[in-house]
Structure 1
Amino acid sequence: MAPIATLADLREHGISPRQTLHRCSPLGPWQRLLPGVVLTSPTPPTRLDRLRAVLAYAGPSAMITGADALVRQGAALPLPRHIHVLAGRNARRAHPWILLERTSRPPTVVERHDLRLATAARAAVDMARRELNPHTVMAILDAVLTARLCTPADLREEVGAGSRRGTALVRQALAHRYPT
């Protein structure tokens, strides 16, 4: 059984909801990470465990974006407390340490460590458009380009294809640092 399991997964393995509840009690060997998602280990969850739990929680069409997607693909960026995830328009689940963004334009999936990640250009734009500091936006774009995860043209294409909401600083940073 995988270290991260949904209640449905556990039922398929013959573990009843009552047994799961008992194993997730304060003295039990398991931990409930999110509603309906369990870590089948007594050790504290790693960031990878949390990423897998978020994907299990958000559903089969969800994917990680932002800093976590970029770091998993090789960019050197600090990780925020929350995990940024893209999900379909009907996703209605929220949680304090999940930044759930609904999208009608899901990007191509990049697989790393059994995780569904957004492409580097999409993840960078998703992360940068939430920033208010132009220097932070520039640092995000520089980190992605330094790691050679995408090109300035890829970033411009992503900005042009998506919603304009929150992209003013991203557009300015691209025009200033990486003119066409």
Structure 2
Amino acid sequence: MTQNTPLPPCHSVTARTAQRVLSAAQLKAMGVPAGRAVEQCGAGGPWQQPLPGVFVLHPGPLSGPERLRSALLYAGRPPVSGRRTAAARVADPAYGEAMLTGLAALSLYGFAAAPPVASVEGVDVLVPRVRRLRSAGYARLLRTAELPRPERVDGLPVAPVARALADAVAGLGEAVTVRRLLTEAVRGGHCEPAVLVGELNRAKVLGRPQVVHAVDTLLAEGRAMAEERLYDMVRAHGLKEPLWNVDLRLPGGPHLGGVDAYWPDEAVAVELDTRAPRHSRLEGGRRQEEHEAEWSAYAARREHLERLGVTVVHLTPKKLRDAREQQATVVRTALMAAADREPAAYVMILPR
């Protein structure tokens, strides 16, 4: 196409792509060279160029979705190396490995505590660490050594909720907003506290004053929700009602530990794993030591109970949320198998 060749009408390009936001490469593939595209963005022209190499095929204000797509097109490139990550295998070729994160991503996920897409001041985009591109305009590039596998929301690649939350919190200073976002994530069933706290730890924001109290509240709510799921599972699947939240102790002997549900006739106990996230709040070697000590104590307690003939069923909040029927089958199987086992040692049952 020469300098004097008429440019395809704006509406014809839009009709062919069903988009009004295109990269220079996409326009070139349609027969519109970069120079001609730039010409259309002059004063009074029909197009605009909000970010380098990205064109919007109308002169008016950008909508929220147009801002998101333009930021992705600016940040997106094919992988630098031949290695294809999980992110690259599912991403739109136009976006490469780039994916939305932060408040823009949370808005797409429908978070009430996040601002509407159109009013998000900066659009955060995750890109591989090897990308040399810099942030520009409203497109803020966040580099990372390991990209998560993106979700698809409204046709756009978006970081998982926990990662998007951690990236959003890293840029927020208002405690009320942080608490609302974290609480909504758990109450809305978007992600489990364990995953979220792990991401907050990765982002190195757990020590911030506006995060500390919010995380304590988050873990308490996560525990309460997990217990409620356990109650619902027992009742919805017709399991025998257990004794809830009890301590086990040998007569005149040591404390054997607390369990979330216990069937004394069958000597079956259920323990919810809601403890591990707390250890993500510690740093470095101390965190690792505490984590290992916690799980060593848990393993020793479980082995002791099983030597006494008590079957311990270990459930996680995520399993109770995503595979409740399967977990009910696991508990039912343990209860039915009690008839084929040797009688368990006598243990005292105390309220917790």
TM norm structure 2: 0.47
CA distance in 2, matches of 1:8, 1:70: 29
Residue aligning to 2:42 = 25
Question: Given that residues 129 and 167 in structure 1 are in contact (C-alpha distance below 8 angstroms), is that contact kept between their aligned partners in structure 2?
Answer: no
User: Which one-letter code corresponds to 2:108 in the other structure?
Assistant: R
Residue aligning to 2:130 = 90
Residue 6 of structure 1, aligned match among 23, 28, 36: 23
CA distance in 1, matches of 2:130, 2:193: 32
1:13, distance to aligned residue in structure 2 (A): 0.5
Residue 75 of structure 1, aligned match among 111, 114, 119: 111
Segment drifting more, 140-149 vs 107-116: 140-149
CA distance in 1, matches of 2:189, 2:100: 19
| Cα deviation digits, residues 18-42 of structure 1 (max 9, x gap) | 3212211122211111010001123
CA distance in 2, matches of 1:119, 1:163: 14
Segment drifting more, 121-130 vs 46-55: 121-130
Q: Does residue 61 of the first structure (1) align with residue 78 of the second (2)?
A: no
User: Which one-letter code corresponds to 1:86 in the other structure?
Assistant: L
Unpaired runs of at least 5, structure 1: none
What are the equivalent positions in structure 2 for 1:152-171 lying under 5 Å apart?
152-160=193-201, 162-164=202-204, 166-169=205-208, 170-171=211-212
Residue aligning to 1:175 = 216
Question: Given that residues 33 and 39 in structure 1 are in contact (C-alpha distance below 8 angstroms), is that contact kept between their aligned partners in structure 2?
Answer: yes
CA 147–26 in structure 1, closer or farther in 2 if over 3 Å, else same: farther
| Cα deviation digits, residues 40-90 of structure 1 (max 9, x gap) | 123321011010000000011111101111111121112531111111112
Question: Given that residues 84 and 101 in structure 1 are in contact (C-alpha distance below 8 angstroms), is that contact kept between their aligned partners in structure 2?
Answer: yes
| Cα deviation digits, residues 87-107 of structure 1 (max 9, x gap) | 111222211322221111211
User: Which one-letter code corresponds to 1:87 in the other structure?
Assistant: V
For the aligned residue pairs, the C-alpha RMSD in angstroms reads 1.9
Unpaired runs of at least 5, structure 2: 1-16, 77-95, 221-273, 275-352
User: Which one-letter code corresponds to 2:25 in the other structure?
Assistant: A
Residue aligning to 1:141 = 182
SS in 1 for 2:135: coil
1:112, distance to aligned residue in structure 2 (A): 1.2
SS in 2 for 1:45: coil
CA distance in 1, matches of 2:206, 2:160: 17
CA distance in 2, matches of 1:148, 1:30: 42
User: Which one-letter code corresponds to 2:215 in the other structure?
Assistant: L
CA distance in 1, matches of 2:203, 2:217: 21
Question: Given that residues 48 and 56 in structure 2 are in contact (C-alpha distance below 8 angstroms), is that contact kept between their aligned partners in structure 1?
Answer: yes
User: Which one-letter code corresponds to 2:48 in the other structure?
Assistant: Q
1:157, distance to aligned residue in structure 2 (A): 3.1
